[in-house]
Amino acid sequence: MANITVIGAQWGDEGKGKIVDWLASKADVVVRFQGGHNAGHTLVIGNQVYKLHLLPSGIVRKGKLSIIGNGVVIDPWALLKEIAELRAQGVEITPANLLVSENAPLILPLHGEIDRALEEARAEKIGTTGRGIGPAYEDKVGRRGLRICDLAHPETLRKKIANMLMYHNALLQGLGAKPVDIVACAKSLEEIAPLITPHVSSSWQALDKARNDNKKILFEGAQGIMLDVDHGTYPFVTSSNTVAAQAAIGTGVGADQIGYVLGITKAYTTRVGAGPFPTELMDDTGETLGKRGNEFGTTTGRKRRCGWFDAVQMRQAVRTSGIHGIVLTKLDVMDTLKEIKICVAYECRGRKYDCLPASADLQAEVKPVYETLPGWESSIQGVRKFDALPENAVKYIRRLEALIGAPAAAISTSPQREDTILVKDLFQ
């Protein structure tokens, strides 16, 4: 199977951008399959830095077809802004290299207003980015949402908006917010529709053609597995499925087409926003990891919480997503540490756990059980061969592989795309 599905195997921000870009250079088609503009990938190619939020990572490379699948919720204004920014950097974006799925849900300004109002009203904050992702997904399953294909039908657009606002205006008024005007909402969509519709088509048909033409397809996830609405640390999760199976559902291909599942994980653990984080470090080591790893979100700029590698969480991610191999990123961030800890189990209420319990109450109480390994205390930045790594770095990698039940397919030793140790020949 030539296809590869890339997913974040922790709480997001694992360095997927670099890895996806590296794989995109070998792929023919790159597809986003979930999330919205609440996620971000930073690509560093030579001296150029690209910050992507909705667009697939293949868009910055010539000769690739980039597809935004039906599993993605799309803020059309955010999409047009991102396209304009990349064009200003010299990236060519046309209907020939960017396809937007016709059945992808739309995010409207009212979704962001509701998102922020609800977060403000909550006694316990979830940590939403406030960009309307959750409310847009709610509209999708509530069967009242607008979809990209609706932009091509102005004659029925206002009727559909009225149906949506029958629900949302009541909610906004209940939250003390101003109701949305149907005419103004419709007009704003009608103005931008001509800029979006040339890119709109059927993602599943385009991918079926790519399969028949023996093209290499790269499915690109956004957030991490532990933010999955079903399998993550609920309710501190995103509003979509982030596990590998969503690559099929969110694009319209058969489940047999997602190919080799590659889980991206840091050599330590980070998390943005609220929610349980068993291995979080509130000390100098946590500060060191944050500073050396430049742990600030691409999309929001929020500081990431840092902690030791959580093998319990990762083992669970491997099993729930069918991960075949991992890419271990930011190993060089740990170069200065004398000792390194790995969480191998949890303890809670007198019981030992080998997985993260589903209960939010228990998740908030679990304590990590650690195993300690010696650090390598030398720079590995830029190392590109496995046998050039220090002995203790190799021991650390081998121990992680044994604990999580998946091998390292690649190891990243700096932010540069070329500084990657390739253990398995991906896209062979």
57/229 Cα distance (integer angstroms)? 24
Return the closest-CA partner of residue 48 out of 39, 61, 37. 61
**Residue 290, helix vs strand vs coil:** helix
- CA 9: distance to chain centroid? 9
110/102 Cα distance (integer angstroms)? 21
**Residue 53, helix vs strand vs coil:** coil
321/261 Cα distance (integer angstroms)? 8
29/44 Cα distance (integer angstroms)? 20
Question: Which helix (H) or strand (E) element contains residue 5?
Answer: strand 4-8
Ramachandran angles phi, psi of 359, nearest 5°: -65, 130
Q: Residue 9 is encoded by which pair of tokens?
A: 């195997």
Pairing of strands 325-329, 408-412: parallel
Task: List the beta strands (DSSP E) in 303-395.
Answer: 305-307, 309-310, 325-329, 339-348, 351-353, 367-374
Which is the catalytic residue, given 28, 37, 41, 115?
41
Active site residue 13: yes
Question: Which residues are tagged catalytic?
Answer: 13, 41
